Structure 1
């Protein structure tokens, strides 16, 4: 599990528990089953209504990326790409047949090279993969953002239900308290669900989606350079921007010195 996600959830829960204890009220009064049904059930129903059922559940299953601690190592990926380019340049592309890679995207790229596809076909295949992954992650973010938008609205609906129930039974003082608690707690639950969980999850999933896209683009460009038979030193220079590093090869340094001379 991602440490930041686990720590963030723990901090939210501990902060709420601490605030309740400091208020001096009984913790049990902050648990209201009708309010939970209104906010959680109503929000799930409204979001489900907004999307096709298959898209809804696929998006929910993809939320696990927000908890994943696995992060693409761009430096390691670049090293592997340089090794592959050196092997292909010295021994030919078919020498990559014995290479087994754990990275699924890298392995797909090597397979495309081994199958003898031209550069345009390889680029098209990678662009399609990147687009499909991006669409899948964006769909999950949209669903989470829908939860964030609708949860406070459901909390407001619960508040109105509680206020109506309170006004109807004004002649019975004993029923005012429970009705008012429903009114206030639904607002609390809606705000907590949206701002404490689904909103941050959407942000985390967006960050994960950007990491995945950057990794896939790095692999795509590296495989395309290998397909063209480019020099490994040139490949390192061209792909260094993905790492945020200024990597200069000996070749480029020599060229600079010649230009200065």
Structure 2
């Protein structure tokens, strides 16, 4: 679990609630279902209108990365590539067949299959680069839903405020209903701005970071498989790929 993400959410919410309490307000006044419905429902609707269903579903699934990040062990990848390089030098490219059959990552399995089948090194590299480009395009389209939601959310907060004020104006002669309308107006703004800056935009930025790391991991694998297919010495391969460890 990514403890800093959990801590960040807790700290942000605590700061808002504690600030409300220190100002003498009631914490319960921040809980307004109508304001929540306007902001969250409106934001989700706007995002769904602009997004393809497959990207929307993929973006929702990627949310777990914020709290349970994907494994990104570049040292392990390098060691695996070196082992494959040693196998290929001892037993030939066909010696990687067992590694190919046991590999669960479709990207790596495809690369190993081309190497074992004797594809030209440049063909292996180019094919894997195309896969990387396709992955990055799809992943960034999925993350876009969180970035877009962060843009729409404050606007729907303002919309909720306007609706609340309309309710107030319609009931000027009934003081008992004024409080509820004013509460919805201000709380909707808090929900819109707070959701965007405390959750939606940070989520988008963190997911983009993990996508960048995954792209680097795949580039490392593509370069390593190219080197193996090209018959390069494992020691040279290690020197070439050690720069990826800085990521």
Same fold (TM over 0.5): yes
**Is the contact between residue 3 and residue 69 of structure 1 (CA under 8 Å) also seen in structure 2?**
no
Mapped to 1, the partners of 2:110 and 2:4 lie a distance apart of: 31
> Which SS does the other structure have where 1:24 is aligned?
coil
Q: CA offset at residue 128 of structure 1?
A: 2.4
Mapped to 2, the partners of 1:76 and 1:228 lie a distance apart of: 22
Q: CA offset at residue 69 of structure 1?
A: 2.9
1:209 to 208, 211, 218: 211
1:176 to 161, 178, 195: 178
Number of the residue aligned with 1:158:
160
Q: How does 1:1-261 map to 2 (within 5 A)?
A: 1-99=1-99, 100-101=102-103, 105-244=107-246
**Is the contact between residue 34 and residue 184 of structure 2 (CA under 8 Å) also seen in structure 1?**
yes
Larger radius of gyration: 1
Mapped to 1, the partners of 2:48 and 2:198 lie a distance apart of: 21
- 1:42-71 Cα deviation digits (max 9, x unpaired): 111111111233332232223333332333
Give 4+ residue runs of structure 1 displaced > 3 Å after superposition: 100-108
> Which SS does the other structure have where 1:71 is aligned?
coil
> Residue 56 and residue 101 in structure 1: after superposition, are their counterparts in 2 closer, same or farther (change >3 A)?
closer
Number of the residue aligned with 1:258:
none
> Which SS does the other structure have where 1:199 is aligned?
helix
- 1:110-129 Cα deviation digits (max 9, x unpaired): 22211222223312321122
Q: CA offset at residue 101 of structure 1?
A: 4.5
**Is the contact between residue 88 and residue 95 of structure 2 (CA under 8 Å) also seen in structure 1?**
yes
**Is the contact between residue 55 and residue 138 of structure 2 (CA under 8 Å) also seen in structure 1?**
no
> Which SS does the other structure have where 2:160 is aligned?
helix
Deviates more, 1:56-65 or 1:134-143: 56-65
Mapped to 1, the partners of 2:85 and 2:179 lie a distance apart of: 73
Mapped to 1, the partners of 2:143 and 2:54 lie a distance apart of: 15
Q: CA offset at residue 134 of structure 1?
A: 0.5
Mapped to 2, the partners of 1:169 and 1:213 lie a distance apart of: 57
Mapped to 1, the partners of 2:135 and 2:5 lie a distance apart of: 22
Q: CA offset at residue 94 of structure 1?
A: 1.1
Q: Which runs of 5+ in 1 are unaligned?
A: 246-261
**Is the contact between residue 87 and residue 96 of structure 1 (CA under 8 Å) also seen in structure 2?**
yes
Mapped to 1, the partners of 2:74 and 2:54 lie a distance apart of: 33
- 1:108-152 Cα deviation digits (max 9, x unpaired): 332221122222331232112211221122012211111000000
> Which SS does the other structure have where 1:198 is aligned?
helix
Supply the RMSD in Å over aligned alpha carbons.
1.9
Mapped to 2, the partners of 1:7 and 1:65 lie a distance apart of: 15
> Which SS does the other structure have where 1:171 is aligned?
coil
Mapped to 2, the partners of 1:130 and 1:6 lie a distance apart of: 30
